[in-house]
Structure 1
Amino acid sequence: MSDYVKPGVVLDNMIESGVIKAELPAVETLVRAGLAGAYLAFVTSMAFLLAVQTGQFVVGALLFPAGFALIVVLGMELLTGNFGIMPVSLFSGRIGAGAMLRNWSLVFAGNLIGALIYAVLFWIAATDAGQTTGGVIGAKLRALAVSKTTAYEAFGAAGMLTVFVKAILCNWMVSLGSVMGLASTSTTGKILGAWLPIFIFVSQGFEHCVVNMFAIPVGMMFGAKVTLYDWWAWNEIPVTLGNLVGALVFTGGALYVAYGRTTRSMQDVAAPAYPRG
């Protein structure tokens, strides 16, 4: 396992990654984020197509991490991963809060644009440019959009709490997938490391804000009885906040507490000794 990276070094890698992300030009950040949003939209449609064809959702869940692997290997910008990585750079004093919020804002916008572009293209391909209803996959995506919005609304406050907690649980794993991509120096190691937590999240049906940037609007395009208000009030906003909590508390924050002291000690040992006076 010569490509294995120890946890303390992984934390160092997270810090450096956050610094690099904070310094990216706005256009480059938007393009990387747009591609990341599209990649996740691609594998979301694939996962549900496989679920329809096989009758087994787990088949789609098993292959869904392929899109995340593309993001990790190519260094794209995914909001949910950045929710876990950027705060560690902030905690270590390497970036400011303004730089972190700038990155999150740009990446949110880019992920949304990429997901919506793919949603439109997928709808055209699946409906023959609106001449058909999309068949079984159209029905599946219509039902999915409802299950992610008005189904929660029907339970009122309990529904809002449910979607928020599902988002926390989701990004506890998804942000860990971004970290696991830093736990190996080989392409194979990065892919396998990222694959595991993403499969865990998808197989349990938790809520991911970037996936929902595709899943809900494309369901609306297929005719789901869901409004823009339903999408944002009952899913996108609470899910984004829940994803932030999951990554900040259980990934970035927890790993910084667990390994931050070790990392700082290693830096002190590596620092050159200068004569006093």
Structure 2
Amino acid sequence: MDAQPVQNELCLTPKQMMEQAEQYALGKSQKPTTTTLLLAVMAGAFIGLAFLFYITVTTGSSGEAWGLSRFVGGIAFGLGLVLVVLCGAELFTSSVLSAISLANKQINLGQMLSLWGKAYVGNFVGAITLAFLVFGAGLYNLHDGAWGLNALTIADHKLHHSFTEAFILGVLCNLLVCLAIWLTFSSKTALGKSLLVLLPVSLFVSSGFEHSIANMFMVPLGIAIVEFAPASFWQSIGMQASQFTDLNVSHFIVANLIPVTLGNIVGGAVLVGLTNWVVYRRPSLTTTPTTKITPLSLSPSEATMTMSVTVKEILNPAPITVVAGSRVAVAIDKLNENNQTSAPVINQSGNLVGFFSLHDVMVEMWCTDYRATTELKVEQVMSSELITVDADQDISAVIEYLCIDKEQLYPTSSMGYATRFVSGTLSERAHAIKVSRPKIIPVIEKGEFIGTISHTEIQSVLRPLFGATESQASLSEVEDAQMA
């Protein structure tokens, strides 16, 4: 059996991150509507606060290096996503990752769009509410109106992209936002998640990429200043409201909000969510390679048995199998009919592509909070990493694999040093070992799946080693008596 890599408890592998992403995506669709809306309002406000921080940090920095000023502002803006991540708020631009659940067929298109709609509406309410609170507080008058002028300049600039430019800037923005969210899946600590978010967010902000929810705060704030700021404000900055006529609701929706929102969906759902799904979780129906099991040194009696018995001689040539593309419900019915809890999975060509078990189903149910999906397919829950045995393998090697854990029996390091003290004889230690192994092992010959071997077949080959049956013994005694 191949050695398993040591897992780092503090940092997950990309494949483990994908598993976290699946739970994250599915969890979004399972929240009650009221919860989703309230969390979305919070997220909209958090992103608005982040933009408020950005405006404050970059106000009066005209004498500083352009790039450095925007970088510092980007770091400040990162506070918004940190709040979203750590507080569990529902941000539209990260909710598009629920496309993963759609790809896994755990939700349908209507459920996904409903989630997106609730997050979008809630974000809008939170962002625009904060915008009017900020305006009502008169923050635009800070630094002799320079704060308000900075806000106006930022908002006005957002409305002067072409539709294509705004769309692409939206794609690039949410590519980075969702990558930031994705990076948090690798960490189990609040500090780690917070630090991982900062640089991707700083990159998108400092580069001028477009975030639809942030714009729901920024542009309405600019519109409010244009429409309602007193004359004293305009006098303090030496400008007139007529210089910002493009800052109006209709222009905002057409020139910015629509193309940026569409771009955000593509950048997050497609370039991050579905791309990682294709790489790490898309069902792979490739033939499973054979994993040979290396036996321990054999006693003379074991050697005699293995010389005469191979896996091919006792395998089940017509085992119960399930098809990768079939529904889980159909597979479970088949297992129930044959009094089994697991079976090899084959594709339409009869090639071995995985292994399906009750354990896989229970794990899936746990991950989805025990909400079964009628259209769930075997290929979505099966294990594609499994142990197979070569048809010409000695049966003793299979027996050893099923009942002996060498690491428990011989606790030594890779250098041969004992890792812990063990007492008792070899036999006592072997009998004390608790091993969890599959009860059915697929058998491969020349790359082809030809059957399975299980406890039943092994039991049948072991029985003769313990002598004749009672009926055979009685018959032998009668024959001996007759001969006497």
Deviations 1:39-72 (A, max 9, x none): 1100101111110144422211122111101111
1:51 aligns with 2:58: yes
- The aligned counterpart of 1:2 is 9
Aligned to 1:155: none
Residue aligning to 1:233: 254
The one-letter amino acid of 1:254's match is: T
Matching of residue 250 in structure 1 with residue 271 in structure 2: yes
In the alignment, which residue of structure 2 is the partner of 1:197? 200
Q: Report the structure, 1 or 2, having the larger helix content.
A: 1
Runs of 5+ unmatched residues, structure 2: 1-7, 63-68, 227-243, 285-378, 387-436, 441-453, 455-484
Which has the larger strand fraction? 2
The verdict on how the C-alpha distance between 1:8 and 1:217 changes in structure 2, with shifts beyond 3 A counting, is same
Q: Cα gap change, 1:6/1:46 in structure 2, threshold over 3 Å: closer, same or farther? A: same
- Displacement after TM superposition at 1:126 (Å): 2.4
Code of the residue aligned with 1:184 in structure 2: it is: S
- Given candidates 116, 121, 132, the residue that maps to 1:104 is 116
Q: 2: distance between equivalents of 1:136 and 1:115?
A: 22
The answer to whether the aligner puts 1:218 opposite 2:221 as a matched pair is yes
CA drift of 1:181 comes to: 1.8
Structure number with higher relative contact order (C-alpha < 8 Å, ≥ 6 residues apart):
1
**TM-score of the superposition, structure 2-length normalised?**
0.52
Is this contact kept in 1: 2:135–2:225, CA < 8 A? yes
Q: Secondary structure at the match of 1:172?
A: helix
8 Å CA contact 1:31, 1:110 repeated in 2: yes
CA contact (8 A) 1:15 1:94 kept: no
Structure 2 counterpart of 1:80, one-letter code: T
Partner of 1:268: 383
SS at match of 1:222: helix
Quote how far apart the aligned CAs of 1:261 are: 4.4
Deviates more, 1:252-261 or 1:167-176: 252-261
Aligned position for 1:90: 102
Contact 2:104 2:380 in 1 (8 A): no
Give, in whole Å, the separation in 1 of the partners of 2:199 and 2:382.
Answer: 30
1:144 is matched with which residue: 142, 154, 159?
154
> Which has the higher mean CA deviation after the structures are superposed, 114-123 or 10-19?
10-19
Out of 59-68 and 48-57, give the one that drifted further: 48-57
Q: Is the contact made by 1:51 and 1:58 (CA closer than 8 Å) also made in structure 2?
A: no
Q: Structure 1 unaligned runs (5+)?
A: 153-158
CA distance in 1: counterparts of 2:39 and 2:144, whole angstroms: 30
AA of the residue aligned to 1:190: K
CA offsets per residue over residues 107-145 of structure 1, 9 Å max, x none? 0000000001100111111258xx999711111111222
**3-state DSSP class of the match of 1:268?**
coil
| Cα displacement (A) at 1:170 | 0.7
Distance 1:191 1:132, change over 3 A: closer
Return the offset for 1:2: 3.2
* Structure 1 position 253, deviation (Å): 1.5
1:23 match:
30
Residue of structure 2 aligned with 1:78, choices 87, 91, 98: 91
Percent identical among aligned pairs is: 29
- Structure of greater Rg: 2
Task: State the distance in 2 between where 1:270 and 1:109 align.
Answer: 43
The count of aligned residue pairs is 266
> Residues 207, 134 of structure 1: CA spacing in aligned structure 2 closer, same or farther, 3 A cutoff?
farther
> Residue 156 of structure 1 aligns with which residue?
none
* TM-score (norm. length: structure 1): 0.88
Q: CA shift at 1:273, angstroms?
A: 5.8
The one-letter code matched in structure 2 to 1:238 is: P
Contact 1:87 1:100 in 2 (8 A): yes
